[in-house]
Amino acid sequence: MKVKSILSTVLIAVIVGFLSVLIYHNLYNTNQNVDSTNLNTIGVGQLVKNTTVQENVDFTFAAEKAVHAVVHIKTTFVNEQDIPLYQFFYGQSPAMPSVGSGSG
């Protein structure tokens, strides 16, 4: 009885897994074939739609604007946790200071 239940569960799991893969393959299958014989004659920008290729891209303006946008934040707060086992043996839980920091 127990073996029959386990086998039926495994069989259902295999069937559902197979159907999931089949449905995913049918819904999200994109056949984007690129003819590799003409790759040397066309530009990279022509492979991707709505894209232009610029050879000399200058990132100094973007870098100057991004340098001043980086910040570092440091904060300190009191962490008051209710730990029932600690309160049972030692009374009130200690209020421990915690430090958090980050940048972005």
Contact assessment for residue 76 and residue 98, using Cβ atoms and an 8 Å cutoff: yes
Residue 82 is assigned to a structural domain of this protein:
yes
Residue 2 is assigned to a structural domain of this protein:
yes
User: Model pTM?
Assistant: 0.30
- Domain of residue 8: give its range: 1-30
pLDDT band at 18 (very low <50, low <70, confident <90, very high): very high
What's the number of domains the chain is made of? 2
Task: Give yes or no for residue 22 having a pLDDT over 80.
Answer: yes
* Tokens matching residue 62: 């973007």
Distance CA 70, CA 65 (A): 10
Q: Are residues 63 and 101 in the same domain?
A: yes
Residue 70 is assigned to a structural domain of this protein:
yes
Residue 7 is assigned to a structural domain of this protein:
yes
Distance CA 73, CA 96 (A): 20
Q: What residue type is 18 in one-letter code?
A: F
Residue 51 is assigned to a structural domain of this protein:
no
Q: What does the buried/exposed string (b/e) look like for 18-46 if buried means 16 or more CB atoms within 10 Å of the residue's CB? A: eeeeeeeeeeeeeeeeeeeeeeeeeeeee
Give per-residue pLDDT as tens, 43-86.
555 555 555 556 677 778 877 777 777 777 888 888 777 777 87
